Structure 1
């Protein structure tokens, strides 16, 4: 993926899968301190979303930034790449 500026990663932005499934809302990001690369998105999942195949931390699911395919009005992720 090309460069993504922090202003495009607005918190409370909706996260959707490439198949149109609404995953949840972006709550925070995990960043590598040394290089500054975004590692994971911390997503507050929708109550109807099955989180059983995802890495979890507290009440959030962690989606690897490498699974992100687009950031516009929504953050679009590939569910197959996002699963733990």
Structure 2
């Protein structure tokens, strides 16, 4: 994937690979040891059923591995983003 500045990602709309609007990117979760991006923190669209996704408070978390494209929108693989809901919640530590 082409390099992109994090500041250019904030407030981008996040959509699933089947065209459903998931919400707007609010933040990212990084592994401070490796520097890799772990999750996208998304403010969900008001019409979205959040119960299908991994949640952290009022936000939903999309695994960075589910990102398929970043242009005008951030496109995530639907199956991978739904599968992340079965993972344990993020804990700070």
Q: 1:28 to 1:7 in 2, by over 3 A?
A: closer
Compare CA radii of gyration and give the structure with the larger one: 2
Cα offsets for 1:47-71 (capped at 9, x unmatched): 1011111110010000000000000
Q: 1:27 to 1:72 in 2, by over 3 A?
A: same
- Name which structure has the greater RCO, CA cutoff 8 Å, separation 6+: 1
Residue in 1 that maps onto 2:20: 21
Runs ≥4 residues deviating over 3 A: none
Shift of 1:6: 2.3
Residue in 1 that maps onto 2:49: 50
Gaps in structure 1 of 5+ consecutive residues: none
Number of matched pairs: 83
Q: Which has the higher strand share?
A: 1
**RMSD of aligned alpha carbons:** 1.4
- SS state at 1:52 partner: helix
TM-score by length of 1: 0.91
TM-score by length of 2: 0.82
**Segment drifting more, 8-17 vs 42-51:** 8-17
Distance 1:39 1:9 in 2: 18
Q: Which has the higher helix share?
A: 2
Residue in 1 that maps onto 2:77: 78
